[in-house]
Structure formats: C-alpha cells, structure tokens
Structure 1
C-alpha cells in the first residue's frame, strides 16, 4: 500500500514539473522543480530545448549559468543542453524554515547577447528527525496538585516543512498524565502535560514518561524525550501567566533599553511559595538571550542588543516564572516578537557583466552594454527599487524584476561626445527613500564617417614664366575630424588633360603634406593658365572618404597680367577698398569678398598711372577670369563714350553667354563683331 502511495506522489510531482515547464515558457521564464539532497549529475531539465537553442552553438556562444549564490548548485552539459545538479542541496541550510524555497539562475549567451531566467524550486524531503531541546526533563510536582493542573513543556523542532514537519505528539501510557496540544502557528505547538489523577507520593514518588514527536513524512520520523516526575509535598501551586503566548511587534532600530513587553505571572500560594521570579527557559537560544533582557522581579523584557530585520524577522522567547517555595514550581509562556522593517539599507547596484565598454559610434540600437542587478536587504516598500539613468542620453535600461540590461537608444557621434559616464541611480520606495549610484564609463570608438575638408574651396596660384622645374607653387591643406587611420589624409591630383597632355605633366603633389610643385618650366606665350578641377559633388571612393578642391594656375611674364611693351599694366586684384574716384583705374573686390565672389569693381581712367587712357592698345587682354568665380570679365572700348563714363568698357558674363556671342558673331556684320567680341573663358565653378 505504501508503495502505491509513493508511486502516486511521484506521478503528481512529474505532472507538477510539466505544468511549471509550460507556465514558465509562457511567461518568458523557465521553471523547474528538484528535490533536495540529490547527488551530483541528477537531471533537472533540458535548458537548450526549452530555450530553443542550437546545441552546436552553446560552446561557441559562451553559454554560461549565473547564480546569486556563492555555491554553483547547478550546471549545464554543453553537449546535450541538460541542466543537472552540480552540488548537493540542503534545503534547510539554504532556505531555513521558509515554506517555499527557490533558486534563481541566469542564462547568458553571447554573439548576440541573450539573457534568460530560470527559477528552480527546491522541494523538501523528509531528511530531518524531530528533536527536543533536551533529552531528559526532571519535574518536581507537589502531591497537592489537583487534577487538571497543567505543566507546559518545550516543543520539539523539525527543520523540514509542510507534511514533513512535526504533525503530532504522543505520550506514553500512564494513569496520572495526559497530553494537551495547542497550535499557535503552522510549525509551532505549545505542549502541556495535564494531571488527570491526583498524585500520591507515598504510593509512587517517581513517574517516568516518554514524549514522542512525529512528523508527516513517508516514512515518518520521530524523536523522543524522557520526563521524570518526582512527587513533592507542600507547595502545590505553580505560577500562571495571563497568556500562554504573547505576540508583540518591535521596530528593528529600537534603541537599547526599549521595553518589549511586561509579563505577569501569579501564584496563589502564600509567602515564599507565591513569590515569582522570571527568567529565560532553557529552550531560549543564546542569541536571543544576548538581544533581550528580562527583569527577574518585574517581568519586563527590554532590548539589550542591536535588532536587525535583515538578520531575523522574528524571535521566539521562552519565559518561565518560578516561585520561591522550598520545592519551587514554574509556569511557562512564549513571547513571539515580530521585527518591523525600517528603511535602513540603501539599494546596491551591481554590474554583473560589462560587455561593451567601448562602443563604435555606428552601434545599432539595443546593443547590450552591461548587465546590472539591484538588491535591497529591506522588505516591503523598502525593498522595492527602481533604477534610472540621466535623461537625454543615447542609452536606456531594459528591466526584468531586479535585473537590468543597459543598451543603446540613440545616435552616437564620437566627434561630438567621445565618451559617456553613465550614472546608474537605484532608489527604493521607502519613506524617506534611500539611493545609491554606480557609474559606468563607455568610450565611443571612431568609424570613418567624415570626409576630409579643405581649408579653402579653391586656390589661385601665380608663377613667373621660365620658372625652375620643381619649384613649389603652393600647399593645400585638408583636415578630417575622425581619429587614427580614419583621419589620415593623402593628396592626389585628379585626372585630366591640358593642351593634350596629362595634368601630371605640369604639376605634382606630395601625397603626405599637399605641397604642389611645377614639373616643367612654363612659357607664358604658350600657356597662360590651367585648372586642375575637382570631381562632381556625388563622386565617391569606395575605400575611403575624400574631399575635392580646384586650383587655378595663372602665368605671366613677371607675376602680373600685362599688355605689350608700353601697354596697360594691371596688377591682379586684391581685397582692398574700392575707390570712389572715377579716374582711379582699379580692379578690386569689395572688402570681405572671398575667392568665390563675383562682385568686382573695375574703374578705368587716366588718373591711374598704371592704366593708359583710351584708346586701349590692341594687345591689352580683352577678358580675364577671377579664380573661384563663374564670372567672365570682358573689357571693351566704346568710341562713342567719354573717358569718364562708367560701365561702357566692362561686361560680366558666363560661359554660356560667351558661346551665344560667338554664334552671333558668325551671323552679324564685322562692326557688330568688334563691339561684341569676347574671348572664351574657362568655367571653374563645377563644384
């Protein structure tokens, strides 16, 4: 019969495990049940199957089990994904007298990072025998004790829980005593031996009783204590407390000397037989004796040490009241002290894993940076903790119970913010609340997301003809806000031809510093200017990011634009104040105009010694280009206009307008051709 009951229990346990498997998977958490005291290697569950993991990738992805306990009670076989018992579990040592016992495990997998939770219930087995605080008790009872007299006795203790704990007591068969049980809570009973028949010392001076405590395990376990009753004369009344059990509450921060309770026991005897002395009974643990003090005369119990809820949430104090009769008698009671938690523990932030202390600035959203747990040793609202990070950061926290993952949540730009100090602040819900902080430094690594930029968009270079080959023309400079190899800039000339020859036949550039050199000696009469140009704006390299620029090289015989001998001489315009005199004869951009400015003033008149008076000699250049500007400035002479007239000898146009004039010149008369004659110019505004 016992065999069938056991089989039935095993079947129910198997169904219990299966239900919790399904329930755990449904809510995103795996739950298993396992009995305590199993040997190493005992099967718990198949984690790989339950999480839907590929067995072949467990090792390569760094599959591991994390636990909040120091001991590694469980482990996983990476070959088959089975969770097994790694170390024998003593439920009573792990969870003491709590009705339920759970262990929380974490499953951490990398590449990509995944975090799962496993909750394992430790099922109690009947592995402890009930035990009394003493094996032998010696009582002295007066023969005058009347039937119905009660004699309290300390109960036995069994660290097992549920049906495996103590279920009943039995007293050996006798004529004078019987057993009366009063239950106070689930695992605590006050035992009283009741005198059912008057004692007669002359008939029997010593009575031997056996008290047995029996638990509800299968098979049941039991423990015994022997009670020796010696019958005495005279003092026939023992002190009696107002209650057999007192229940009080005490704040954990109670100061020394705080009164817990004042007990009162009375003895109807007279004289010394009725005088009561209070003391701790033998069952009161030494730790409790250190925390509390009882006044032997008044029965006041006061705080005598530091009471800490996190160390113990309740205490049981066993008190006896003894009279001063020649054969003293004692009454017993129990004081249950519930400790009330106060918010005296700040939450603790623990970074369990820091995966990416250095993030690339192009990291994807939800990239896991760290695993964080928060604990608080208080209870109730004092234990409820929230974790936050400062606002306006490209990061956020994902939470599960008291575990968090710190992940990315926004665009990162190393050039704007190269690193972050992320302060994690944990705050409990107590009044007043307590908080603590933990700072994680996350450095942002560079990616090549910035193209080099030149200091100028165009460069104008002037060189005297018949220059020495190899002479330095100018230096171009570009910078890149990226770092290391991403910021290294190399300079190259773009492809192109000038008068049928490659541009590299005329100039060269040093790739490391941007110095531009003349490859040959230039002849002003053959080549007056040329331009290396940049590519179109949508041009890109696949290997790196680069910037384009353009430069114009102008040649003249002495570094200036000239006409012929004795002809007009015009210095190349510089940024200077435009004169207001009509005879000034200058070409200059307005103050503040850059290389791309097309706002130029040309004033021509006899007052400038560098400028001739009309008529303009035939070899005076009739048009020229301002570097960096799309404008073509043409000079003409209108014989009908006076010398001081403005605007009759200079026009601004573009490449398209010049083409139109050429087309018109072929169709018109020679006089009209002379008036609208214009030389073609190079458009250097492609960028």
Structure 2
C-alpha cells in the first residue's frame, strides 16, 4: 500500500512539472508555484533560477532581485542556490479572506540584459480553522401551538477556510421533538432549520436544551458547537415573514452617504401587538458591515452610511431579521446581497522600475533606457490603460512588453552636440468614461562620445611678420574648437613631426595654440614659412584636425647698398680734350633688400662735383662741360659718389672714383693694354717719356694682377657658399627706366611642407676704363665669373 501511494505521488509530481513547463512556454516568462499556508520558515517552494533558465553564479552579477506586488515579505530567494523559500508565516485567511484563489504575485528583475519575469505562488488552504458559531447559545422560541413539521431557522457556523475545508455538516444531539433540516440554496449557501417532529406541551417541558455541532470536511476534521435553548411559548404562534428570502441590489461605488439601498417589508399574521415588527441585523453580522450600512428598525430601510469601494469589496451580504412585539417574540429572516458596481474613480499609477542614464550618444536603436510599470486599481475597461510618450519627434519610443510593462528604448541615432538632455513626459490613460490619466516626468541625459574632431574656423591662415623679430616672439595664435565635452573636447596643438627642418624656426604651444618664432627671421634668407598645425583632442580614441599656416616675412631696410668692384687703385685715365657729356665711368651698386628698400639712387658729393655729374639712377659719371689741357694734364681727381636706397630709414654708402687727366702727347705707343678716349696709338716713343711709359706699364701690370687675385678669391668664396646653401635663382631688380640694374646678393628660402631651397647669387662686374683700346681690339666689358655667377652686360 505504501509503495502504491509513493508511485501515485511521483506521478502527480511529474504531471505538475509537465504542466509547469507548458505554463512557462505559454505565459511569456511566467512561473507558477504553490505552497501550503502556515508553512514554516525555510520551506522549499521551487528552484526559481533553474526554472527561469538562469545559472546560479550569474544571479549576483546580473543584479537578480525579486519584488512582491502586495504587502508582506512572505517569500525570499536564496542567491547562493537560486531556491525560492518561505520567509515568514503565510495565513491564507488573512491574505485572501474567502477568495477561492489566493496567490502571491512576484516580479523577478535581472539586468544585463534587462528582463522581467512574473511568478505566481498559489497559497493552498489547510484545515487550520474550526467552524465557529457567532453565539455559543442560541435562543429558539416555539409556540406550543405549532404543529409538527414546522421549521425554525437557526444560525449556522462559519469556517474561515475554503473548499472542502469549509464544507460544513451539522448534527444535533438526540431529541424526540426536534431534528435538523439542512437545505442548499441556489447560491450554494446552506439553510439550517430546526424541524419540529411532534407537538410540544409547555406544561410537560418548557425548555429543551440541545447541542448543535458543525463539522468541516477537512482532514483532520475540525468542529464547533453551539447550545440551543428552545423555549416553549403559549401564544403568538405566527412569526414575521419577508416576501423574499433573498434580496439582490446593485449599487455604484460612488453613491453618496445616505443613499437608499432597499426597503424591506415583513408581515405577521397575528393581530395587535403580536403584529408589530422591528427590523435589525442578525447578531453575527460583522461590525464593519454595520458601519457601512444603516437599517431603520421601524421602516426597514437600508441606507449607505460610509462610501463603498469596489476595489475593497465587490459584494456585501447582510442578514436581517424581523421580530414581532408579542409577549413571546417571533422572528423572520432574510438576506440582502448588495453588488457593488465599479466606477472609474482610480487614477492610473506609473512606477519606474529601472533607469540607465546617461545614455551614450552612440547607443544603437533598440537599447533599453528605462523599464516602466503602469497599473490601475479599477477593473474592466476602467482598468485598461494605454501609455504614450511626449513630446513628439524625439529619438525614443515606448514598447509594450508584458502585462502593463513598457520599456523606453532608443528609436533613432542620438547626438549629444545637438541635444544634450531630453525631458520626457510619460502619460498613462485608462479607457473609462470619463477617462483618467497620470503623468511622470523623466530626464534622460545623453552621454558624450568622442565623435567630433577638432576643427579650425578656416582652412588656412596667412600671417605677416617683419624680419628681425626678437627671438621667441609670439606671431600668431591658432584655435580649434571641439563640440564634445570633458576630455573629449580638450585640444592640444603640435607641428607635424615630418617638418623637422622647421623646428629651429617655429614652435607651437601645446595648450594655448600660440605660434612663436624661435629666432629672428631674415627676409633676405627666408621669405615664406608654410606649415601645418595639428589639433588633437584627449578622447579615446583621439581625433585630430589640421590647418595650414603661411607666414610671410616682410622686408625691412636693414641692408645698406654695396658697391661692386671699384677702387682708387684702378683710376680712370681720361685723355684731354674731352667733350661735354662724355661718360667716363659707371658706378655699380647692389642692395640685399627688396622693393623700395633696394631702389638705389646716385649723387655726387658737393665737394667733388666740379665738371662732373652722375646719373641719378644709372650711376654713369659724365662731364658737364668741355675739358682741355687747361684743366691740367697729369692731374687726378677723386670723385666721391653717394649711393642711397629709398628705405625708411634711408641707408647709404660712398664710392670713390679716381680720374687721371692726361694729354694726347703723354700716351705712348707701347701702352697696348690701356685704352683711351679719342685718337689712335702712337708708333714711337720719345726718350724723354721712357720713364713715364715704364711707370704706366708697371701700374697697369699691378692693376691687372690685383684684378686676377680678386677674381680668384671671389670665385673660391662663392664656391664655398654654393656648397653650403645649394643652388638658387638671383633676383634682378630694374630700378627705373634709365636702365640702372641692381643685383641682389641674397639667400632666398621658402620653407614649407617639403625641403626649402636656398640660393645665393653674386655678380662681379668689371668694366674697362674710358681709355682707347689697343690696335685690333674692340671696346668691351670684361666679366669674370665662376659656375654660380651670372653673366650680364652693361646697359
């Protein structure tokens, strides 16, 4: 027998497990357990983690938590093993009263990802309540005139349990006059009456005492007793009677106090005082019910005393009795059932279950931001709610999950730089008439992501700086902006590492973006610096931008004019007579500056003017009048020429030109290397002039030797400079229409993203003095140069 019972129990458990799996599959994550009321602390209810498909070791990392929808902390989950157990005493009668289905609703919430499970634990009833009579002693008055077969209502017992545990059976102690009559009404309630079997004789026995026992259907059975005191009366043999044994009334829950519920009417067939009736609640009617309804003892009117609440009680049942005023009062009984109708009087409620902020701006669509629970205590359409989100056109949406649960999800890409924070209004509205609604404000800040590179206000900057600036001078400031925040917007600046050749000229402050010139800039060496400044933020990963900066060096008049080869040791021999306007020589000068700073003009010093003049821009020295032997043969003059530029302040240099005046008779025929102006070489020489000729030849030879040595040294110096700076292009400036040319001897650099070019040019121009050339030669200018010197003829 024991083996058979164990097999049956095992089969029952397998069936329960099978139906539990089906419930999980159909209930969208809902579990169902059951537990007996009055279970001790620690009683096993179910393996909730296993049934939800969760591993025990992930309960704490995923922030496993359980919430009860009602009051009381009856159940708890052991995080260590995932078992649901009884935490505190559960009294089904206190928790659910007489409701046939009593359940504890639990919500299990886990994060990463966010999920919600609904667990229903049914509390099973045990037979822990014995039947109870409202009075231990019931008085029954029976007229001796009542005929056998008469019924007398009795107050039955009540049992707080439900189901079979509350099914009562009644027994009466043995009596020859009375027996019990138990009838079930259409609403499954019991009508307990005392049946008179034989006629009574008050003179024989005036009082009968019987024991009424009520026994429930639980296992083990529990029972309760009441003493029946039956008094035999002589008269008043008609009890008041209601026209209905059961009255049903429907009342809306929002009725005002004093509203008439029903007017009862009972009749008595007796006459006189035995016909007068008073109405009252039966003794076992609860005090709370008496406080809710008022019964007029004279008129039988039942009125509302306190406001009804459908959510608290759907239905009220009142036991009313009517008693006549006879010397031996008789009583009639009836029941009034008041059904409360729901009214939309409860505003929906919003509860924020979970909120994950700030929301990163790179969150993908569908990411859950918040979990919202909505509820309404009303029933039917009054309890049906819908949820909406305001304002419109925002990158969020509400998604309905399960049983009035909504998740706030990302609907569109976010951009913190456009909107840094959203203020949302969640509105829940029921379907009642009139409709009620509730709102909840939700602030959703957007978290910054480094998605914006630093940008400059313009793609390039042009900067002008005068040469000869002090070392470390601040020449410009670059500034980049980053719309991100915090470290994502912290910008630092630096020069491209590939431009190592610029490191000696330019530096950039990493924080302020200030550009400094590390050394004085020389326009004659460097005209343009072109480089890129990079701006990088401090985000992870960091983003960068760049801008091109062009620094143009502005020329200043810092170079005085320089005269080309000209020396007092190479005098110009002028053969008399000379015409007016005869060009006797030309001063050639150059200026390393540019523009007006290199535009030269020539002036004769007043002290040496005499019969000479110099071209203002050409530098040609010519006579102002006819010169003959009277002006003095063999004498020499030193002409002091001032060479000035047009810069501010003006710079100048002086040049001395030696002019020797000789007559035609002093020119010997053997002087083949000395050209002269006017006449032809003489074929013979007088003995008197031998010393003069020897002196002239010696001076000419010495002059020629000096020229050769000077050219050799100059070529060697230019070769060294060419190796140092590399090839370049000379700048040729024409000062005016006169045709005076100025050659710039400079190093022209342009440093940019690639290697700069450095060039050097030197022009050495030597021209023959105004002396008649030897026979067979032509008047020419001798130009000495090396591989890096350009050849140019005199204008």
TM (norm. structure 2) is: 0.68
- Match of 1:93, SS state, is helix
Q: How does 1:201-350 map to 2 (within 5 A)?
A: 201-350=202-351
**Closer/same/farther in 2, CA of residues 143 and 62 from structure 1, 3 Å limit:** same
Asked whether the equivalents of residues 236 and 326 of structure 2 are also in contact (C-alpha less than 8 Å), the reply is yes
How far apart are the structure 2 equivalents of 1:522 and 1:541? 37
Match of 2:576 in 1: none
Match of 1:455 in 2: 457
Deviation at 1:202, TM superposition (A): 2.0
Match of 1:601 in 2: none
Asked whether the equivalents of residues 66 and 106 of structure 1 are also in contact (C-alpha less than 8 Å), the reply is yes
- Match of 2:531, SS state, is coil
- Match of 1:60, SS state, is coil
**Closer/same/farther in 2, CA of residues 15 and 194 from structure 1, 3 Å limit:** same
Match of 1:672 in 2: none
Match of 1:107 in 2: 108
- Match of 1:199, SS state, is coil
Deviation at 1:617, TM superposition (A): 8.6
Asked whether the equivalents of residues 167 and 217 of structure 2 are also in contact (C-alpha less than 8 Å), the reply is yes
Match of 1:440 in 2: 442
Match of 1:524 in 2: 523
- Match of 2:104, SS state, is strand
Asked whether the equivalents of residues 556 and 597 of structure 2 are also in contact (C-alpha less than 8 Å), the reply is no
How far apart are the structure 2 equivalents of 1:185 and 1:534? 96
Match of 2:573 in 1: none
Gaps of 5+ in 2: 558-592, 601-644, 646-734, 745-749, 753-795
Match of 1:466 in 2: 468
Match of 2:485 among 472, 483, 486: 483
Deviation at 1:187, TM superposition (A): 6.3
How far does the alpha carbon of each residue in 1:627-664 deviate from its partner, in whole angstroms, 9 at most, with x for none?
9xxxxxxxxxxxxxxxxxxxxxxxxxxxxxxxxxxxxx
Q: How does 1:611-650 map to 2 (within 5 A)?
A: none
Match of 1:358 in 2: 358
Deviation at 1:69, TM superposition (A): 2.8
Deviation at 1:179, TM superposition (A): 2.7
- Match of 2:493, SS state, is coil
Deviation at 1:9, TM superposition (A): 7.3
How far apart are the structure 2 equivalents of 1:113 and 1:251? 42
How far does the alpha carbon of each residue in 1:173-192 deviate from its partner, in whole angstroms, 9 at most, with x for none?
32333333343466632322
Match of 2:663 in 1: none
Q: How does 1:528-539 map to 2 (within 5 A)?
A: 528-533=527-532
How far does the alpha carbon of each residue in 1:259-281 deviate from its partner, in whole angstroms, 9 at most, with x for none?
11111111101111111111111
Gaps of 5+ in 1: 570-610, 628-687
**Closer/same/farther in 2, CA of residues 26 and 288 from structure 1, 3 Å limit:** closer
How far apart are the structure 1 equivalents of 2:462 and 2:741? 27
Match of 2:33 in 1: 32
Asked whether the equivalents of residues 467 and 522 of structure 2 are also in contact (C-alpha less than 8 Å), the reply is yes
How far apart are the structure 1 equivalents of 2:365 and 2:272? 86
How far apart are the structure 1 equivalents of 2:440 and 2:409? 16
How far apart are the structure 1 equivalents of 2:185 and 2:10? 32
Asked whether the equivalents of residues 67 and 106 of structure 1 are also in contact (C-alpha less than 8 Å), the reply is yes
How far apart are the structure 2 equivalents of 1:433 and 1:388? 15
- Match of 1:491, SS state, is strand
**Closer/same/farther in 2, CA of residues 432 and 46 from structure 1, 3 Å limit:** same
1:377 aligned onto 2:377: yes
1:512 aligned onto 2:514: no
- Match of 1:310, SS state, is coil
**Closer/same/farther in 2, CA of residues 386 and 138 from structure 1, 3 Å limit:** same
Match of 2:704 in 1: none
How far does the alpha carbon of each residue in 1:195-224 deviate from its partner, in whole angstroms, 9 at most, with x for none?
333222123222222222222212222222
How far apart are the structure 2 equivalents of 1:616 and 1:249? 125
**Closer/same/farther in 2, CA of residues 10 and 35 from structure 1, 3 Å limit:** farther
How far apart are the structure 1 equivalents of 2:330 and 2:2? 46
How far apart are the structure 1 equivalents of 2:158 and 2:7? 29
Match of 2:712 in 1: none
RMSD over equivalenced CA pairs, Å: 3.4
Match of 1:557 among 555, 558, 583: 555
- Match of 1:400, SS state, is coil
How far does the alpha carbon of each residue in 1:117-165 deviate from its partner, in whole angstroms, 9 at most, with x for none?
2111111111111111111101221111223332222222112111221
How far apart are the structure 2 equivalents of 1:7 and 1:208? 51
- Aligned residue pairs total 580
How far apart are the structure 1 equivalents of 2:339 and 2:10? 38
**Closer/same/farther in 2, CA of residues 69 and 257 from structure 1, 3 Å limit:** closer
**Closer/same/farther in 2, CA of residues 384 and 97 from structure 1, 3 Å limit:** same
**Closer/same/farther in 2, CA of residues 616 and 418 from structure 1, 3 Å limit:** farther
TM (norm. structure 1) is: 0.78
- Match of 2:381, SS state, is helix
Asked whether the equivalents of residues 245 and 334 of structure 1 are also in contact (C-alpha less than 8 Å), the reply is yes
**Closer/same/farther in 2, CA of residues 165 and 89 from structure 1, 3 Å limit:** same
**Closer/same/farther in 2, CA of residues 618 and 173 from structure 1, 3 Å limit:** farther
- Match of 2:84, SS state, is strand
Match of 1:75 in 2: 76
Asked whether the equivalents of residues 493 and 533 of structure 2 are also in contact (C-alpha less than 8 Å), the reply is no
How far apart are the structure 2 equivalents of 1:122 and 1:616? 119
How far does the alpha carbon of each residue in 1:18-50 deviate from its partner, in whole angstroms, 9 at most, with x for none?
412442244322211222111111111112211
**Greater Rg, structure 1 or structure 2?**
2
Asked whether the equivalents of residues 139 and 227 of structure 1 are also in contact (C-alpha less than 8 Å), the reply is yes
Match of 2:496 in 1: 494
- Match of 1:345, SS state, is coil
